[in-house]
Amino acid sequence: MLSIVLFAPLARVAPHRLAWAIVVCGLLAIGVPANADEAAPALAGALVDQVRALAEDKAAASVGTRVEVVVGALDPRLRLAPCDRIEPYLPPNVRLWGKSRIGLRCKEGRVAWNVYLPITVKVWGRALVVPAGATAGSVLQAAGLDEAEVDLAEESTSTFLDRKLVAGRTLAQPLRPGQAVRQGHIKLRQWFAAGETVKLVAAGDGFALEGAGQAITNGIEGQPARVRTESGHVVTGLPTGERRLELTL
């Protein structure tokens, strides 16, 4: 039973405040309806297995390596109506790589709700690691590298397996012991500077062309650069070596 205690005589309480107090107390006395939507439920084991199987199947089909799926939990603030059958599905344009999500929709219930369940997709594969770790600015040496199984999806940039692509490169950030070396961890090389003479290379099906030009922009590894040819045309390509620009036809 709800008790109402007023700390002032009713005659001294303003009429509008008294009316508001009565309304509030009435709402408190009513409480939450018995048929109100329930808080987000804990996922049943069978549903968790379905989510994991769906994610593993779709991820494995795209990368062809060992996949591990860690299923998260629904937001406890959600209020969901009871449902007799929940169907997991892959939302459009969702990449099953690292932190991702799976859709859950109610197929048999009084309310056809739809929510998203967070998951973490780990893709295990071989890559070069630094067993002892390294500080930013360190130059990686072949002898300090090892090959190990790592979670390729832990970060977005690609890993390495060829020591020749890593040895002699300078780290842009520190690496913890056993961490995989990724493209984003090493400093980009500048293959040429604006104003330098650059060799132009174009290759296609059964042919190869070479020429020369003057760089208009700096040639940074992995970034498009522009060069003016001897005939005055401006071409764009990717720097691939010392004063070398590769054109795509």
Mean pLDDT of all residues in the chain? 83
- Using alpha carbons, select from 206, 208, 230, 228 the residue that is nearest to residue 216: 228
* Per-residue pLDDT reduced to its tens digit, 9-37: 434 444 444 343 433 333 333 233 334 44
Q: Which residue has the tokens 């048999």?
A: 108
**Do residues 169 and 144 lie in contact, with contact meaning Cβ atoms separated by under 8 Å?**
no
Region of 89 please: left (phi>0), alpha (psi -120 to 50) or beta.
Answer: beta
**Do residues 107 and 143 lie in contact, with contact meaning Cβ atoms separated by under 8 Å?**
no
Q: What pTM was computed for the model?
A: 0.65
Q: Two tokens at 176? A: 């913890």
What SS3 state is found at 87?
Answer: strand
For each of the domains in the chain, give its residue range(s) and CATH number, in order of start.
39-123 (no CATH), 124-185 (3.90.1210.10), 190-247 (2.30.30.760)
Per-residue CA distances from 81 to 30, 31, 39, 132, 185 (Å): 21, 18, 8, 52, 47
* Per-residue pLDDT reduced to its tens digit, 206-218: 777 899 999 999 9
Q: Two tokens at 208? A: 């190869």
Q: Band the pLDDT of 112: cuts 50, 70, 90.
A: very high
- Using alpha carbons, select from 32, 34, 42, 41 the residue that is nearest to residue 82: 41
